[in-house]
Amino acid sequence: MVLHERISAAHPTERVELAAAYRLIAEFGMDDSIFTHISAKAPKSEGEHAFLINPYGLRFDEVTAGGLVAIDIEGEILNDPYGAGINKAGFTIHSAIHAARPDVACVLHTHTVAGVAVASMKEGLLPLNQWSAPFFNRIAYHDYEGIALNLEERARIVADLGNKSAMILRNHGLLTCGRTVGEAFRAMIDLERACRAQIAVMGSRQTPNQLSDELAEFTARQEEGWAEQHQAAGKPDAEWDAYLRLCKRRHPDFDQ
């Protein structure tokens, strides 16, 4: 982060960045009342296999770094500042991925109109443009099983996700994973834009100019190559830092 001098040091980075993601999802109109969730690995001091998630009942624009709930993958609440507990459906999805994917530091799930619309199409996400092409052959699908309250569904979520970092929950919504909060957030922004563009194209009554499989794959590899080079060079995540600056300006209390 490039904002150490502006962002409160009262809470660990994991809490601060996760709270920022909640506020930013609300900022961009991608929240769903008090539902859906973003989770991140908790600091080691809060539990060896713990993750952080929003307290049940708070809107995303009310989430703060200090108010996040720490819970382990078995469902035991370790730290609940509000005493509000968590949404059980959120625990099912997020605990499954955190338990199975040690490479994942953040899981982000949304129910947007565009995301749910594409999730409700048999075709799923189509390679129509530069937003959707990077997901070509890199997005998983999980069939709808009702509200995610059955813990047995976790095995199927994990199996369907595999080693991918994005998934369409059919008839439900979107999900992205990241090695950092910023990575998961940026992936969700791109996936959401791809879905919005697809809905706009399909509603235009014009003929979609779908990319060939070869071009979509080439574009996806370009995106991966850029990300790998950027990471290997140890460069900061400039886009996430820009989003953090926006969050601090619009929501100055998020890091409290």
- Over the stretch 178-236, which tens digit does the pLDDT of each residue have? 999 999 999 999 999 999 999 999 999 999 999 999 999 999 999 998 877 767 666 78
Query: What separation, in Å, do the N-terminal and C-terminal C-alpha atoms of the chain show?
Result: 17
Residue 124, both tokens: 């799923």
CATH homologous superfamily of domain 13-243?
Answer: Class II aldolase/adducin N-terminal domain (3.40.225.10)
Which of 199, 68, 161 shows the shortest CA–CA distance to 153?
161
Q: What is the DSSP letter of 81?
A: T
pLDDT value for 4: 46
Distance CA 218, CA 36 (A): 33
Residue 184 in contact with residue 106, Cβ under 8 Å? yes
- Does residue 42 carry a pLDDT above 80? yes
Task: Give per-residue pLDDT as tens, 59-96.
Answer: 999 999 999 999 999 999 999 999 999 998 889 999 99
pLDDT value for 235: 72
pLDDT value for 204: 97
Of 2-16, 46-60, 126-140, 225-239, the range with the lowest mean pLDDT is 2-16
Confidence of residue 1 (pLDDT cuts 50, 70, 90): very low
Confidence of residue 7 (pLDDT cuts 50, 70, 90): low
Task: Give per-residue pLDDT as tens, 22-40.
Answer: 999 999 999 999 999 999 9
Listed in sequence order, the residues at least 6 apart from 207 whose beta carbon sits closer than 8 Å to its beta carbon are none
One-letter amino acid of 162: G
Q: List Cα–Cα distances, 108 to 72, 98, 181, 230, in angstroms.
A: 17, 12, 9, 22
* Region 13-21 average pLDDT: 97
* Region 141-153 average pLDDT: 95
